[in-house]
Structure 1
Amino acid sequence: MAVLAAIYVLSFADRTVLNLFVDPIRAELSLSDTQMGILIGPAFAALYLVLSLPLGILSDRLPRAALICCGCLLWSGATIFCGLATSFEALLVGRMLVGAGEAVLAPAAYGLIASHFPRHKVSSALSMFSAGVWVGVGAALILGAGSFVSLQRGDTAGPHFSNWRVVMCAVGAAGLPLAALVVRFREPRRPKPEAGSETRATGAFAYLRANRLFYICHLIGFGLFALAAQAVIAWTPTALARDHGFSLGHVGLVLGCLHLTFSVAGIVVAGALADRGVSRGRAAAPMTFGALGTLGLSISVATFAVGQGALVYAALAALCFFVSFPLGLAASALQLSAPPEIRGTVSGLYVLMTGILGSAAGPALVPLIAGSGLPLGSALASVAGVAAIVATGLLILGRAPLRTISARLRQF
């Protein structure tokens, strides 16, 4: 579990380290905001989306630890490649390879973790694992802030090697030794499908069709949450710098510390609340608390957009808490709704949907809205706030079908 959590930390550090360096990279390589939005979102999402479902299906059949090892080697090497890139095209290729490597992690890891814990502890286990997202984001921001402080003192890595390159290469290299450790992870024996069970008779996708109301509400609802969350992660640092005049070093330090405290607290609290609900017979607890998180996200991002002075910091703390709150619950609701033999497939479908709405659309929509004349913070609030409100309604709608599915699965 510790190795998987560490790998998840580094995967999100590799994925998000680019976000703090939007302006330095744009200046050095003569890129536009639109090109940076493509690199942050669609470039990463391209192969991430194409490969997530096939790799999820493979994780139901092949050793999951070996798949995670291969993915870790690929995305770590690709992050180093991005640190050495000298053009938009090279960064584009590097970001696509980062997405390809990371596509396998969630489907394989979710199934591994769920197979080690009873139902009433799955939400906490997956939330603790998913907390790696925010540890990785926070560490990347603090590391980036340190590079800006170094730059202001006049320290450089060399005449042709900018500080953002040093950070990206360091973050990528940190993942290489972990790839060697994960292959030693022991996998439990996978249960065979019950002879006559619905999944055995009709297959995984027929199971999804039979329970389509829940999966539509879950996949689109948490997909819209991912859109809001990815927009917040991608553009909050630059919005603070442009709209409020904060230095990027200050932004990285503040946001990094908030993610390491409030974001980690949010996801851990959410998992504990959901597990408490499930242990008391409330099977839909992950959807209920997921809806609470998306509602809190919509309110906090709107407050951030209009806030000034001390209110900005308070809104940032609330935003960091609620932007993490639903993440582990999305994974646990999936694992609790699917038989063990199709968990990788279902998780791959979830990664596909969150990739389409989150990684691809979220970061790219904000600069398009801002291009109409809105301040960047207001554009961020428009995108993330609307997505979070719609997500809240869908997650509430998905509570009843999850109760029905959960009751049926407990009979086998």
Structure 2
Amino acid sequence: MLAAYSLLVTASQMVWLTFAPITTQTASALGVSEGSVGILSGINPLLYALLALPLGRWTDRRFNATLCTGALLTVAGAVTRCLWPTSFTGIMTGQLLNAAGQPMILNATTKLAVRYFPPAERTMAVSVASAAQFAGILTASTAGSALFQAGGLRTVLVVYAAVALTAAATVLAALRVRPAAPDGPVSSGSLRWLRGDRVTWQLAGLLFIGMGVFNALATWLDPILNRLGYGQAAGSLITLITVSGMIGAAVLPPVAAARGHRRGVLICATTVTTLVFLTVAFTHNLVLITVALCMEGFVLLAGLPIALEWSEIHAGPDRAGAAAGFLLCAGNLGGAVLVLLLEFLIDEPRLAFGALALIAVPGLLLVARLPAMAAPQPSDLHRPAVTGDLS
């Protein structure tokens, strides 16, 4: 089940970011501007922010139905693009379908771990599923150009549709496996519990910063390095950062969970983020930049599975989907906001890297206020009923 789900997560990310590495070529093939092609990738964070919370609740209530719907929407989006490969409208329709399905897939990360794994193995499951997100980003960024050169835009779309179809079929087959821990009763009521839940908001704030920093770096590293005279290095460097992040996301969370050091790893990640970007802001040596940013990727991307797993422990299994949806919604908003903010600074590399260092400082304040250990809070399903005369 974990392998099938991870493949679906990877496919969803690939469909989302299909056009990011081939923006210029796609604009020429479709007869539109590069800005219009950018919208094809930009609609995902927007729809995620709108749909994450209600779809998180649906994940808690109807896990199988939600995940199946997300898988089918991903396939529908990928296939729609193949049917109209020269139409911007047709491709936009496919992107919208995938964007609608993506929250149904990613919100299931912690819920799947609860349903299919014993407590001792859930951290590993969340880590692997989270690393699959970065695997999809990496695959899209490296395979897109090669596929386009081999057969044009149609080849890119057909190959990605085949991956999406395979992933969806695998998940539908895997869902026939009986869960180790079937769903219990679902928390009643709305999402009002989020309003005063300090820990969940702090974790959401950390993902707002962490995912925002990663998205901003991946988006603007190329023009920043161009201004430093290293224009050809950006693609390889982004690949190295993502690979080191995948390793960190798979390795650090299980170690942190086993030793009770989740907060310690998050403190390390935010501290390293500040120090790394301060260093590269004032030292424009390519070797140093490469080493520092790979170190940053290793600890930064590990924060995603740690925050997701902490949210499941804190909110409880009955609210795992809603909590994950809230955190990922915050992360996507952070990505959109910080990408826009950094756009005004890319002409000055020192200011751009300095801004990323400054953005990480509130993260230190947030993580310092987290409890030392992840602990569950009583949900409305587990609070004892008050009966009798309390006088």
- Give TM-score, length-normalised by structure 1: 0.78
Look up the SS of the partner of 1:399 in the other structure: coil
Match of 2:388 in 1: none
Look up the SS of the partner of 1:176 in the other structure: helix
Tell me how far apart the structure 2 counterparts of residues 18 and 362 of structure 1 sit (CA, whole Å). 21
Deviation at 1:131, TM superposition (A): 0.8
**2:223 is the alignment partner of 1:230:** no
Change (3 A) 1:215 1:101: same
Deviation at 1:350, TM superposition (A): 2.0
**2:45 is the alignment partner of 1:45:** yes
Deviation at 1:347, TM superposition (A): 1.8
Match of 1:139 in 2: 139
Matches within 5 A, 1:185-224: 185=175, 186=177, 187=179, 188-192=181-185, 203=189, 205-209=191-195, 212-224=197-209
Match of 1:181 in 2: 170
**2:348 is the alignment partner of 1:390:** no
Of stretches 312-321 and 333-342 in structure 1, the one that deviates more from structure 2 is: 312-321
Deviation at 1:228, TM superposition (A): 1.2
Deviation at 1:19, TM superposition (A): 2.8
Q: CA contact under 8 A between 1:142 and 1:253: conserved in structure 2?
A: no
Tell me how far apart the structure 2 counterparts of residues 49 and 27 of structure 1 sit (CA, whole Å). 30
Matches within 5 A, 1:228-377: 228-237=213-222, 239-240=224-225, 243-247=228-232, 251-253=234-236, 255-260=238-243, 262-278=244-260, 285-305=261-281, 306-358=283-335, 360-370=336-346, 373-375=347-349
Query: 5+ residue gaps in structure 1?
Result: 194-198, 279-284
Change (3 A) 1:253 1:224: closer
State the Cα deviation string for residues 1-56 of structure 1 (Å, max 9, x = none): 111111122222223343323444456655356x5654443x22222222211111
Change (3 A) 1:272 1:397: same
Of stretches 322-331 and 232-241 in structure 1, the one that deviates more from structure 2 is: 232-241
Q: CA contact under 8 A between 2:78 and 2:164: conserved in structure 1?
A: no
Q: CA contact under 8 A between 1:220 and 1:391: conserved in structure 2?
A: yes
Q: Pairwise CA RMSD of aligned residues?
A: 3.5
Match of 2:33 in 1: 31
- Number of residue-to-residue matches in the alignment: 376
Deviation at 1:132, TM superposition (A): 0.7
Change (3 A) 1:386 1:80: farther
State the Cα deviation string for residues 279-315 of structure 1 (Å, max 9, x = none): xxxxxx3333123223323333444454323223223
Deviation at 1:374, TM superposition (A): 2.9
Matches within 5 A, 1:62-211: 62=62, 64-79=63-78, 81=80, 92-147=92-147, 151=149, 157=151, 161-162=152-153, 166-184=155-173, 185=175, 186=177, 187=179, 188-192=181-185, 203=189, 205-209=191-195
Q: CA contact under 8 A between 1:22 and 1:238: conserved in structure 2?
A: no
Query: 5+ residue gaps in structure 2?
Result: 385-391
Deviation at 1:88, TM superposition (A): 6.5
Q: What percent of counterpart residues are identical? A: 21
Q: CA contact under 8 A between 1:300 and 1:315: conserved in structure 2?
A: yes
Change (3 A) 1:37 1:300: farther
Look up the SS of the partner of 2:16 in the other structure: helix
State the Cα deviation string for residues 60-96 of structure 1 (Å, max 9, x = none): 121x234223212323443465675657766655443
State the Cα deviation string for residues 203-232 of structure 1 (Å, max 9, x = none): 4634434x5221221112222212112222
Of stretches 88-97 and 341-350 in structure 1, the one that deviates more from structure 2 is: 88-97
Q: CA contact under 8 A between 1:12 and 1:136: conserved in structure 2?
A: yes
Q: Structure 1 counterpart of 2:125, which letter?
A: A
Q: CA contact under 8 A between 2:59 and 2:67: conserved in structure 1?
A: no
Deviation at 1:335, TM superposition (A): 0.7
Change (3 A) 1:176 1:254: same
Tell me how far apart the structure 1 counterparts of residues 271 and 38 of structure 2 sit (CA, whole Å). 26
Q: Structure 2 counterpart of 1:50, which letter?
A: L
Tell me how far apart the structure 2 counterparts of residues 224 and 168 of structure 1 sit (CA, whole Å). 32
Tell me how far apart the structure 2 counterparts of residues 304 and 402 of structure 1 sit (CA, whole Å). 34
Q: Structure 1 counterpart of 2:140, which letter?
A: A
Higher relative contact order (CA 8 A, sep 6+): 1
Change (3 A) 1:175 1:17: same
Tell me how far apart the structure 2 counterparts of residues 387 and 97 of structure 1 sit (CA, whole Å). 33
Q: CA contact under 8 A between 2:262 and 2:373: conserved in structure 1?
A: no
Change (3 A) 1:25 1:264: same
Tell me how far apart the structure 2 counterparts of residues 17 and 368 of structure 1 sit (CA, whole Å). 26
